[in-house]
Amino acid sequence: MTREVVKTNEYLVGLIKELYEAAHREEAPIWRDIARRLERSSRLYAEVNVGKIDRFAQKNELVVVPGKVLGSGDITKPVHVAAWQFSGSARAKITAAGGKATTIAELVTARPKGDGVRILG
């Protein structure tokens, strides 16, 4: 028997709903993919270190992490990162490298079609 995952964070529930609506309205399957990843149990969320972002993202690339960004490692290039959560050190390292750390909701508003967005994690 499997348990249904019930989200209690109202902001997260609203974000998931907003992602599904944006996917339907803008015909952008990337938002549906991220919504499905955020619907899963929080134990299955991606945890990505800034060192991994530095290794796999290009300079000035737009990356979305459907989970938490952690501060282990170093980032040497400016990268725009959107995620569900950031650790304090991760946010500081991203901005110190000239990048930008934003929420997924802000990214959906800025890029409704999801063009140029890469999922990492």
Report yes or no on 71 lying in a domain. yes
3 occurs within a structural domain: no
CATH code of residue 70: 3.100.10.10
Q: How far is 49 from 46, CA to CA, in rounded Å? A: 10
User: Is position 2 within any domain?
Assistant: no
For residue 1, tell me if it sits in a domain.
Answer: no
- Residue 36 is assigned to a structural domain of this protein: yes
110: left (phi over 0), alpha (psi -120 to 50) or beta: alpha
**pLDDT tens by residue, 81-112:** 999 999 999 999 999 999 999 999 999 999 99
* Single-letter residue type at 62: L
* pLDDT category of residue 7 using cuts at 50, 70 and 90: confident
Predicted confidence (pLDDT) at residue 77 exceeds the cutoff of 90? yes
Task: Report residue 21 as tokens.
Answer: 């609506």
Q: Domain span at residue 40? A: 10-119
- Residue 65, Cβ neighbours under 10 Å: how many? 26
- Inside any domain, residue 100: yes
- Structural domain tally of the chain? 1
* Residue 4 domain flag: no
**Closest among 55, 53, 49 to 71, alpha carbons compared:** 49
Query: pLDDT averaged over the chain?
Result: 94
Are 87 and 106 in contact by the 8 Å Cβ rule? The answer is no
The tokens describing 49, both together, are 């270190």
Per-residue pLDDT of 19-51, as tens digits, reads 999 999 999 999 999 999 999 999 999 999 999
